Chain A
Amino acid sequence: MQLKDKLDLGFIKDKAQLIRKIVFFVLRFIIVAGIAYVLFYVSSFLRIFHNSPFIPTSVMTMLLTIMLVISTFACTSELIKSLYMAEDNQVLVTYPISANRIFLSKIIVFYLYEVYKNFTFSLPIFIAYGMISPVNWFFYIWVFISFFVVSMIPVVLGVVLSIPGFFITRFFAHYQILKIIVFIAILSGFIYLLVRLILLIPAEINILHYWGPIKVLLSDVTNVFQNYFKAVYYVVIMVVGKYDITMKYTYLNNEVWLVLLCLVGILAALFMAAYFLARFIFVKMTSTSFEYEKRFRLKALLNRRLPTFLSFVRKEIRLLFRTGQFTANFIATYISIPLFILLINQIFSSMDLYPNGQFAVQAFNILIIMLPLLASNSTIATIYSKEGRTAYMKRTKPVEIVFPLFAKLIPNIVFSVASLLASLYIFNAHMHYLSSNIILLAVALVLIQVGHILFCALLDLMNPQNEQYATAGEQISNPNEIKATVFAFITSFLVALITLGLLVEEQFMPYQSFNYAFLKILLLSAAFFGVAIYMFVAKIKAYYYDRIN
């Protein structure tokens, strides 16, 4: 039952859907393995590791370490929520089975999900490694079996780490201010380090000249992983076999059996130790959850009358910050775009390019600013539907419907425009445009961004999915979201291509004075925005008023 919740196994009953899923799974497997094989082949051809055409085991140690660290973090965070804070716990304990079984079933679900994830990503990479290395046929059987053991590692570590994780989460839940301060401090520290790292990029990049040091650095890094992550190295030799002194792989020799037994033993011991403690917390949380429920402090507030639109905007901002979801999206998109622009411009500014290269860099910057921004607008295409059945409350309010509908878009418009302007500021710090040119470009891109937000909102208005969200929750595959993403890609590429065309036509160089290319871009953007706002208002009228009448 829980597996169905996590993996959406509805396709098993439908034969056509089952075949489609299997075909997609196999295709994905082949694509990942193919990409990995090409990368290994290129590394081998260019003799990246130790000037040798052979891929050493240390490379796999590095890859597996990174994958295990990411999986362990993901498992820990998910397990904290699923084991101790999930709302379904209180329903599950009413079933005629023991709390122990519920607890174990939750962990098994995580384990099966981890197996699924590994079979779609990590395993194809190992298969590709096998194809490029002198492994024998046994590897292709053994690798499948061994990944059932490898998948246990992040889950067991996740169960162990979820115990302190739970106490930390609870501590921060009680001290919200402290949580915000710590969060901002970590985020600021991370951004600061990232910026410092990006600024370390040398002023002159010549890949051919730096090729030697890059190869040495890469070889050294993989060796660091092999020397300092011995545990993972042993897991790798358990999976791919041990390179013996005749440079052939040996499987299931005494050393591998020892590694396998040690691994299973350590995981079992860790799991048992964590099991008793975590189970105790789990049972306590499910049976006495009310103790931890938030106690609201009631405070009388004077009801202040605000202008209608402002009231709705205030409500939206409150709703937004009540859940952590927006924060994650905010970081993933709005903060990362300016950082990414800094990175690519730092790389480009260290290249000595011909004029055609300068045009390409400018157009590419616009593409990279617009693509993630517009793609993140796909969430706007679900914004009204996510309200579920409560969405109809909007109709009951004695105000123009455009107020609540538009107010819902305001936070995204404000944050995305701020991110856009920050990105353009960084872009201009490298390009040194004249102010009139950069202002025209900024206004043009803001108009495209806001116009795209309105188009995405329109998709949701015209094809609402409220019922699906009300019944199936957030996990549905929303057609509007897919359309919005495709539209984002088309728009970004068109904007970048048109900009490139206009820049080439006007032969614009960054240091030049006012240029008509930017005026033309602005006019096109204004037309796009005009159409968006006209359609937004017209469709609201059609879908909310005309339908009622």
Chain B
Amino acid sequence: MKKSVILIISTLSLVAIILIGLLFQRAEVYNETIYVQKVVCTSIRIGDDYYDTFWNERSQRYLVENPEEPEKEAPLLFIDQLTIDVIYEIQPMDASTQTVTFSTNSDVSIASIEEATGRIVFYKPGIATFTITANDNNNESAKLKIRTKTLDG
């Protein structure tokens, strides 16, 4: 059988499964709303590298974890325009609305965060705290504190 025929059949099947699932599945399935109960900041991404975060009970914030010393905070090396992506998870995982909003109350001359994407940019070394808030439940949020410093401290 020709590859193109296999490709057509596979695409057709995928489309049909999605269409039948969306059009003919009993509506009760969609009626149940599951609200976000917790927002967890799992890690941050700088370039292609991922850094884990951990929950610090004392400060009630997520901090960037030192890879060599678990549960210890690691400051990030500052360079101009240091850009960081926040990686988070919603609990329960099957929550109906999975979107969040990012914000910060920190000094805007130190760092800013894009409200929709969660992309952080540091302009000068220092400490900044960011908040990830569930869109369906304003009471559920997670705070992430990031400290940056230059090589000479």
Contacts and interface: CB of A to CB of B under 8 A. Distances in A.
Nearest to B22: A207
A54 B47 contact: no
B93 A208 contact: no
B84 to A, nearest CB: 8
A212 B50 contact: no
B79 A245 contact: yes
Contacts of A356: 24
A390 interface: no
B48 interface: yes
Interface stretch (A371-379, A440-448, A504-512): A371-379
Interface stretch (B12-20, B60-68, B104-112, B137-145): B12-20
Interface in B1-55: 1-2, 5-6, 9, 12-13, 16-17, 20-21, 23-26, 28-30, 34, 45-48, 50
A52 B28 CA distance: 30
Interface residues of B, number: 45
Contact of A347 (B12, B17, B30, B96): B17
A202 to B, nearest CB: 13
Contact of A244 (B16, B47, B87): B47
A80 interface: no
A272 to B, nearest CB: 32
Interface in B75-131: 79-83, 85, 87-90, 92-96, 98, 100, 116-119
B79 A353 contact: no
A38 B82 CA distance: 30
B89 A378 contact: no
A378 B2 contact: yes
Interface stretch (A136-144, A282-290, A360-368): A360-368
A226 B48 CA distance: 9
A364 B90 CA distance: 36
Nearest to A379: B1
A352 B93 contact: no
Given A57-B48, A213-B93, A354-B24, A246 B1 contact: no
B9 A371 contact: yes
Interface string A45-73: 00000111110111000000000000000
Instruction: Select the residue from A207, A208, A332, A358 with max chain B CB neighbours within 10 A.
Output: A208
Contacts of A58: 48
A98 interface: no
Nearest to B10: A340
Given A212-B93, A357-B24, A245 B47 contact: yes
B85 A485 contact: no
Contact of B25 (A54, A248, A353, A375): A353
A52 B85 contact: yes
A82 interface: no
B102 to A, nearest CB: 11
A351 B25 contact: yes
Interface in A243-260: 243-248
Contact of B79 (A206, A213, A246, A352): A246
A208 B29 contact: yes
B21 A212 contact: no
B20 A353 contact: yes
A320 to B, nearest CB: 17
B48 to A, nearest CB: 5
Contacts of A353: 20, 24-26
A29 interface: no
B83 A245 contact: yes
A333 interface: yes
B5 A485 contact: yes
Interface string A16-35: 00000000000000000000
A209 interface: yes
Interface of A: 50-54, 56-58, 205-213, 215-216, 223, 226, 233, 237, 242-248, 329, 332-333, 340, 344, 347-348, 351-354, 356-358, 360-361, 364, 367-368, 371-372, 375-376, 378, 485
5 contacts: A51-B118, A212-B92, A212-B93, A353-B26, A368-B9
Given A51-B87, A52-B85, A53-B116, 15 more contacts: A50-B85, A54-B117, A206-B29, A208-B29, A211-B94, A212-B90, A237-B48, A245-B46, A246-B80, A351-B25, A352-B25, A357-B23, A375-B1, A375-B5, A485-B5
